[in-house]
Structure 1
């Protein structure tokens, strides 16, 4: 039984998952590994007091070359008494009232630019009841139509992630030690699938032993290209440039599951290699997304910007830093823009 008295949401859990290990109603997954001790360890990484913004401008990459469903933010003034509130004098100038006001609103695709993926972003069909009938479920057995409500679900409840929403990340106030792996040094700007062996070489080169609760960050140079393209991305960017993890490498998946990292972030579009159109092998189209978001509760960060941080860390001969990266506290959302800050 759950803490609310309901029958447990699942009888079977997926192989290589940690469902229930942090509690039957847990919504934080491996973020639970970020303890006060983890935060104190991260704070001890601050030596020079330099801080770095790890977000792209949120209107980049530009257009919708990377994903046709996602578009740049649209800013517009709010309206007051039928007038757009931008450079708007308010009050009576004849009485010496001098205020001029700007006030705006934004329509934003939450996963267009630098982002966190919530666990509600990717679910899978899985036989949680052991009846032979797979159902659409998400991390820790939360269910489509019950815990995550779509606009066409019956019942009259508001659409959104009633469980596993991005607000859980915000409430956690994500802050821990970041460890930066330089995959760009290995691959340059070439599209290279990084499997277990290459990944281990990069990890050894970074000179840091990962600890429970660390946030692993992958520098490939992809976001550098996005920034340099200035809002007009080359169509080759998504599928032909910079390193990606090989999500189909079983040894790499096992390492991630056993690593103790609390989150995995990259400066590329999807962390792992994303198949281009057409059918794919049975099972998950994105095996690392399945492992991290669905099975293990490991948040994924995408399109982070590491160029300036990488340069500073390289100059100091280190790879670790204090990382602060809370999501928007936006109840029900399945992803969030984020402005991560690295302090060294």
Structure 2
């Protein structure tokens, strides 16, 4: 590990270097051809479920003031927009009417994947006693991820040159999904779900989680969002449904030990925000993001639509399915909308 070109020490309990010195996939390396075949083996009915919210939901900025819904517009100049535009021409005999559009979109507004460049940390990767801003596997802020300041100084585009979402897209996010139905056990009241809660649900529903599986948590939050019909009440959302306790060290250790390749939930952020007060003065604001993205290289999915799938699987006495959920192949992006499909 000391011969890694970017770091001489790694965070305790991390996977840095485990998949190679230049690895950008993290735990998605565990989605092997065998895991894809295991996912395919779960297909019995050939029925599919869309696991995405409409990308204009939740609506407004109730969840995050920095993120707004997508804005659609026609291409072409304002005086001649390319929408319902007739290409009719008597002499040429043209009859076509065309529409062409574009979108301004916040990539993590609705159903999404986080890339490994989404959350890093201040960490002394050099071993010189001074912490520097780094991401999974020691990739450096300002060098491997270019923000507006570096872009302006160096005359280059903003974006993640390493750990961008396109890395996950090229690998392909398809394998065996495993659903844990927290909503069935805990309802829609706000609940901070720790290790013991999760173990109780796994045991009660006889859910087995194995290395390389993609874990999906149904909390019911997305159903609350959809009932708001584009105008959610921030207070209602702040007090709705289950969220993982990112301060629960046993829960974080279970995530490490489980071998899951990725973790998605139908709620905002997967974990409780704000998190419970930390025991140490130096701490992560988003401890589960820190553990998963920064230390393990484990992608997180947020605001998935799992309600219909959860109902079907429960009625069928199942918890596993084929999950197909590639992000956009958008070079340099740190997150991406996704339209996951479950096939049962």
Normalised by the shorter chain, which TM-score bucket? Answer: over 0.9
Q: Which residue of 1 aligns with 2:51?
A: 54
- Give the SS at the match of 2:267: coil
Structure 2 counterparts to residues 135-214 of structure 1, below 5 A: 135-153=132-150, 154-214=153-213
Q: Secondary structure at the match of 1:170?
A: helix
Per the alignment, in what secondary structure is the counterpart of residue 322 of structure 1?
Answer: strand
- Counterpart of 2:202 in 1: which secondary structure? helix
Q: 1:81 to 1:301 in 2, by over 3 A?
A: closer
1:23 aligned onto 2:11: no
In the other structure, the counterpart of 2:310 is 310
Distance 1:80 1:158, change over 3 A: closer
1:9 aligns with 2:6: yes
Structure 1 residue corresponding to 2:95, chosen from 94, 98, 108: 98
- Is 2:53–2:304's contact at 8 Å kept on the other side of the alignment? yes
Q: Secondary structure at the match of 1:83?
A: coil
Q: Does the CA-based 8 Å contact 2:275-2:286 persist in structure 1?
A: no
Taking the aligned partners of 2:108 and 2:256, their CA distance within structure 1 comes to: 24
Q: 1:80: Cα distance to partner?
A: 5.8
Query: Is this contact kept in 1: 2:164–2:334, CA < 8 A?
Result: yes
SS across alignment from 2:35: helix
1:321 corresponding residue in structure 2 = 321
Alpha carbons of 1:279 and 1:157: their partners in 2 closer, same or farther (altered >3 Å)?
A: farther
Query: Cα 1:7–1:52, aligned 2, differ >3 Å: closer, same or farther?
Result: closer
CA contact (8 A) 1:191 1:240 kept: yes
Q: Within 2, Cα distance between the matches of 1:237 and 1:140?
A: 38
The CA distance in 1 between the partners of 2:269 and 2:6, in whole Å, is 30
Following superposition, the deviation at residue 76 of structure 1 comes to 0.1
Q: Deviations over 1:140-198 (max 9, x none)?
A: 00000110011111333321100000001100110011110011122211110011111
Match of 1:128 in 2: 125
- Report matched runs for 1:247-266 at 5 Å: 247-266=246-265
> For the residues of structure 1 that align with 2:232 and 2:30, how far apart are their CA atoms?
37
After superposition, the Cα gap between the structure-2 partners of 1:7 and 1:54, relative to the gap in structure 1 and judged at 3 Å, is: closer
Listed one character per residue, the Cα deviations across residues 283-304 of structure 1 (whole Å, up to 9, x for unaligned) are 1011110010000011000000
Call closer, same or farther: CA 1:65–1:248 in 2, change over 3 Å.
same
Distance 1:236 1:133, change over 3 A: same
Cα distance, 1:277–1:40 mapped onto 2, change above 3 Å: closer
Q: Which runs of 5+ in 1 are unaligned?
A: none
Change (3 A) 1:229 1:20: same
Q: For residues 61 and 278 of structure 2, what CA distance do their matches in structure 1 show?
A: 23
Q: What is the CA-CA distance between 1:95 and the residue it aligns to?
A: 4.1
Question: Aligned pair 1:34/2:31, yes or no?
Answer: yes
Partners in 1 of 2:278 and 2:107 — Cα distance? 27
Count of residue pairs the alignment pairs up: 341
Q: Is the 8 A contact 2:179 2:216 kept in 1?
A: yes
Residue 237 of structure 1: how far off its partner (Å): 3.7
Tell me if structure 2 keeps the 8 A contact 1:190–1:243. Answer: yes
Given that 1:328 and 1:337 are in contact with CA atoms closer than 8 Å, whether structure 2 keeps it comes out as yes
CA distance in 2, matches of 1:8, 1:61: 42
For residues 78 and 271 of structure 2, the distance between their equivalents in structure 1, rounded to whole angstroms, comes to 50
RMSD, aligned CA: 1.9
> Does the 8 Å CA contact 1:177/1:321 hold for their aligned counterparts?
yes
Contact 2:247 2:275 in 1 (8 A): no
Q: What TM-score do the two structures reach when normalised by structure 1?
A: 0.95
CA contact (8 A) 1:239 1:276 kept: no
**1:240 to 2:239 alignment:** yes
Unmatched tracts of structure 2, length 5 or more: none
Aligned to 2:105: 108
Q: TM-score, normalised by structure 2?
A: 0.95
